[in-house]
Amino acid sequence: MTRRTLEDALSWSAAGTELFHRAVAGWGEEQYLAPSGLPGWSRKHLVAHVAANADALCNLVRWAATGEKTPMYSSPAQRDADIAAGATRTAAELTTSLHESAERLAVGVAALGPAQWRSEVVTAQGRTVPATEIPWLRSREACVHAVDLAAGVTFADLPAGFLTALAGDIVAKRGATAGLALTLTAAGDRWELPGAGDPVTLTGPLTEVVAYLAGRPHALTTADGSPAPALPAWL
């Protein structure tokens, strides 16, 4: 698994947030109402989700800072209801909420001390992790959803170190659940997914390998040019 430092994650989170904010800058209702790259979600849904994610991660920052248990979301149903409600807000409200939530998160993160960074919090998926995972969770959301905005940002715009770390993270999380024996290689790196059946080898640019692993549109094919096997959803 790829090693990543807290400094890496902080810089990727900042880069992803910047890309995301630049992509939506100046958007009015028309641009916001266009579909995102995620099935069934307009860009309004996606921006509402990314703003709500920053606030949810602020809850984890508070948990790390104070020791008081403050989960990301009160429930999965509440999380979904908040996204649906967020999608009814105006373009201006969404842009403001995007910026303000990102700012709250940046301020909260900047105030954490060394002992607080080591304290444990629980993610929305129920994993217990040190607070140092918070910037990694944010970089994943900001970077991948910047691509999902369907506004010209591609995986090639994301930091290369982030892409390598993300490939390792997804492979580790998918584990055997993909059900396919897969070997992926890109730019000197290699990832193995265990599974049944004849092993399939896929080789391509890092950007395509990551897009494939993340379940996003990609151009990865097997050596004989047939389409890469479909993977179950990730996240």
> Nearest approach, Cβ of 129 to Zn ion (angstroms)?
17
Residues 91-150 that bind Zn ion (CB under 5 A): 141
What is the token pair recorded at 138?
A: 């944010």
**Contacts (Cβ under 8 Å, ≥6 apart) of 93:** none
> Nearest approach, Cβ of 118 to Zn ion (angstroms)?
26
**Nearer CB in complex with Zn ion: 50/182:** 50
> Nearest approach, Cβ of 113 to Zn ion (angstroms)?
28
**Nearer CB in complex with Zn ion: 87/202:** 87
> Long-range contacts: 168-173, Cβ < 8 Å, 24+?
168/1, 168/2, 169/1, 169/2, 169/136, 169/140, 170/210, 170/213, 170/214, 170/234, 171/213, 172/1, 173/234
**Nearer CB in complex with Zn ion: 141/208:** 141
**Nearer CB in complex with Zn ion: 126/188:** 126
> Nearest approach, Cβ of 232 to Zn ion (angstroms)?
17
User: What residue number has its CB nearest to Zn ion?
Assistant: 141
Query: Under rule CB under 5 A, how many of the chain's residues touch Zn ion?
Result: 1
**Nearer CB in complex with Zn ion: 21/200:** 21
Question: How open is the CA angle 96-27-48, to the nearest 5 degrees?
Answer: 50
Phi and psi, residue 202, nearest 5°:
-125, 130
Mark residues 46-85: x for contact with Zn ion by CB under 5 A, - for none.
----------------------------------------
Helix 6-24 vs helix 43-66: crossing angle, to nearest 10: 150
> Nearest approach, Cβ of 67 to Zn ion (angstroms)?
27
Question: Applying CB under 5 A, which residues contact Zn ion?
Answer: 141
